[in-house]
Amino acid sequence: MPQPLLIATGNAGKLREFRRLFEQLELRDWELVAPAEVGLDGFEVVEDGQTYIANAARKARSYANAARLPALADDSGLEVDALDGAPGVYSARYAGPDADDAANRAKLLDALADTPADARAARFRCVVAVAYPFTTNTRLGEGAVEGRIAMDERGDLGFGYDPLFELPGGRRMAELSADQKNRISHRARALQDAQWALAALARLRAGKR
The per-residue pLDDT for 95 is 95
Show Cβ contacts of residue 113 under 8 Å, excluding neighbours closer than 6 positions.
none
Tell me which residue of 121, 131, 118, 152 sits closest to 55, measured CA to CA: 131
CA–CA dist 126, 156 (Å, integer): 22
State in words which class domain 3-208 has: alpha beta
Domain residue ranges of the chain, discontinuous segments joined by +: 3-208
Tell me which residue of 29, 28, 48, 37 sits closest to 10, measured CA to CA: 37
* Paired sense of beta strands 3-7 and 71-80, if any: parallel
Residues marked as catalytic: 75
Q: Which helix (H) or strand (E) holds 205?
A: helix 195-208
If one counts every other C-beta atom within 10 angstroms of the C-beta of residue 150, the result is: 19
pLDDT tens for the chain, 209 residues long, are 788 999 998 878 788 888 888 988 888 888 999 999 999 988 888 888 899 999 999 999 999 999 999 999 999 999 999 999 999 999 989 999 889 999 999 999 999 999 999 999 999 999 999 998 988 888 899 999 999 999 999 999 888 999 999 999 999 999 999 888 888 889 999 999 998 888 877 777 666 55
The per-residue pLDDT for 205 is 64
* Paired sense of beta strands 30-33 and 3-7, if any: parallel
**Residue 37 gets which letter from DSSP?**
G
Tell me which residue of 69, 9, 68, 5 sits closest to 41, measured CA to CA: 9
